[in-house]
């Protein structure tokens, strides 16, 4: 699919480039031809006003070298040459034929293709002149210009082709990355769901067998319930991740008290921390407001607090602070003592389904919490990151304040 998308991108780009180059070449040739015709007619008109002086072969007419000759038309239709340059005017039959052809035309000026001549009929008091100019130089100029345009356009086409190929790779890279991530996400989700489903099916088969005591079957039922609850949590997280990927609705982009959202998110965790023998120290600066959704900001805080209590040293204390870091930004920080996080894990820890090591796989963790937290932070125009120094792990969230 990605390869077809690149090819389609290149084809569309090169089609546009071809149309543009063709349009430029046609415009250049058309404008040049019109300019040459206009200059030629102007020169021929000036010659017709003063046809008698003969021009030397190397003399310029008003700055323009023009192979021409001038014929005067008598009352009986015969012609005689009265001026010229670069032409042999001894062939009277040729001169008469050219004059007759020009006089039969309804237009005062035009082209005689059979003679490769351009003509201009000018009527003077009691006289009529016909000025003829050779088109060879004009044709050679246009042909040379066309060859130059074709060479330049061909070279530009090749250059644009390579540029469009590189541009296609750059433009499709986010799509390719999203496609790879999607396939990886589906594979990881399938793997995460496959294990609990296998456990449930195995336990269900054991319950259907007549063997086993009531106590054993009760334990099997409890195992099934536990695994089913884990599956429900995983499915809920997958749905939540999908909602985060869709972005915040327009109505959610409103003035929100981040300090109040963090305070509300703390309440469910206080008994949990107390039950696990952990301390919870908080320092929340009041009145910090951001633009976003209070429910999602509370969910973000809850994810970080839940992650801290899972991986905190037994009997330790988790510190939560929310304060302004500058005039336009505020930072939420959740710190706990625990196993050090390696630089590689710090880089990958916010990826979906990522779990650093077996020690980080307890408590039924699916590896989606921090991915959801990252999505919420990014949807609010902020960023999330983590640090680990000497066994002290801190997760930060920075948002723009109002």
Label residue 377 exposed, middle or buried (CB < 10 Å: 0-12, 13-18, 19+).
buried
Long-range CB pairs of 174-183, under 8 A, 24+ apart, other chains included: 175/2, 175/5, 176/2, 179/1, 179/2, 181/352
CA distances from 65 to 8, 60, 131, 145 (A): 52, 5, 15, 19
Give the phi and the psi of residue 265 in degrees, each rounded to 5.
Answer: -70, -20
Apex CA 183: angle with CA 180 and CA 189, to 5°?
135
Q: Where are the beta strands (DSSP E) in 31-182?
A: 68-73, 79-85, 109-112, 117-124, 127-134
Q: Residue 283: pLDDT band by 50, 70, 90 thresholds? A: very high
Q: Which two tokens stand for residue 382?
A: 């902020």
pLDDT score recorded for residue 113: 83
> Do residues 352 and 368 make contact, with C-beta atoms less than 8 angstroms apart?
yes
Average pLDDT over the chain, rounded to an integer:
82
Query: For strand 279-284 and strand 317-324, is the pairing parallel, antiparallel, or unpaired?
Result: parallel
Q: Write out the two tokens for 255.
A: 């003035």
For residue 363, the tally of other CB atoms under 10 A from its CB is 10
Provide mean pLDDT across the span 304-328.
90
Higher pLDDT, 327 or 337: 337
- On the question of pLDDT at 45 being above 60, the answer is yes
**4-13, 266-275, 359-368, 387-396: range with lowest mean pLDDT:** 359-368
The top-scoring range by mean pLDDT among 67-76, 123-132, 180-189, 259-268 is: 259-268
Residues in CB range of 94: below 8 A, 6 or more apart: none
What gap in Å lies between CA 359 and CA 366, rounded to an integer?
13
pLDDT at 47: 76
CATH number for 250-400: choose from 3.40.30.10, 1.10.260.40, 3.30.499.10, 3.30.565.10.
3.30.565.10
The tens digit of pLDDT for each residue in 209-250 reads: 887 788 888 888 888 888 888 788 778 777 777 777 666 555
pLDDT higher at 144 or 68: 144
Domain ranges of the chain: 2-140, 250-400
Q: What is the rounded CA–CA span in Å between residue 309 and residue 330? A: 24
* 254 contacts 230 by C-beta, under 8 angstroms: no
Q: Tell me: pLDDT of 177 over 50.
A: yes
DSSP annotation string for 101-132: HHHHSSSSEEEETTTTEEEEEEEETTEEEEEE
């Amino acid at each position: 699919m990605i390869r077809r998308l690149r090819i389609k991108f290149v084809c569309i780009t090169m089609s546009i480039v071809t149309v543009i180059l063709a349009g430029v070449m046609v415009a250049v040739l058309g404008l040049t031809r019109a300019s040459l015709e206009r200059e030629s007619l102007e020169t021929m008109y000036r010659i017709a006003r003063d046809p008698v002086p003969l021009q030397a072969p190397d003399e310029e007419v008003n700055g323009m070298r023009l192979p021409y000759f001038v014929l005067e038309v008598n009352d009986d239709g015969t012609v005689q040459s009265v001026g010229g340059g670069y032409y042999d005017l001894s062939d009277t039959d040729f001169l008469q034929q050219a004059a007759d052809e020009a006089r039969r035309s309804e237009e005062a000026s035009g082209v005689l293709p059979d003679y490769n001549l351009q003509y201009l009929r000018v009527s003077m008091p009691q006289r009529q002149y016909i000025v003829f100019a050779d088109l060879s130089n004009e044709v050679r100029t246009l042909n040379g210009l066309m060859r130059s345009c074709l060479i330049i356009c061909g070279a530009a086409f090749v250059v644009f082709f390579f540029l469009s190929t590189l541009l296609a790779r750059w433009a499709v890279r986010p799509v390719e990355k999203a496609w790879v991530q999607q396939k990886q996400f589906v594979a990881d989700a399938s793997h995460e769901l496959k294990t609990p489903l296998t456990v449930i099916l195995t336990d269900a088969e054991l319950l259907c067998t007549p063997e086993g005591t009531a106590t054993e079957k009760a334990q099997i039922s409890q195992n099934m319930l536990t695994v089913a609850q884990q599956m429900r949590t995983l499915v809920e997280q997958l749905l939540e991740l999908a909602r985060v990927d869709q972005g915040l609705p327009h109505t959610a982009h409103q003035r929100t008290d981040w300090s109040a959202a963090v305070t509300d998110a703390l309440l469910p965790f206080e008994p949990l921390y107390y039950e696990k023998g952990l301390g919870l120290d908080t320092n929340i600066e009041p009145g910090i407001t951001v633009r976003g959704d209070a429910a999602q900001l509370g969910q973000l805080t809850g994810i970080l607090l839940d992650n801290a209590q899972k991986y905190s040293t037994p009997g330790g204390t988790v510190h939560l602070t929310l304060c302004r870091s500058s005039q336009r930004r505020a930072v939420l920080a959740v710190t706990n003592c625990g196993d050090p996080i390696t630089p590689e894990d710090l880089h990958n820890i916010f990826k979906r389904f990522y779990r650093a090591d077996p020690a980080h796989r307890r408590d039924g963790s699916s590896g989606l919490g921090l991915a959801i937290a990252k999505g919420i932070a990014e949807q609010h125009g902020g960023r999330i990151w983590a640090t680990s120094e000497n066994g002290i792990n801190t997760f930060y969230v920075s948002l723009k304040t109002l």
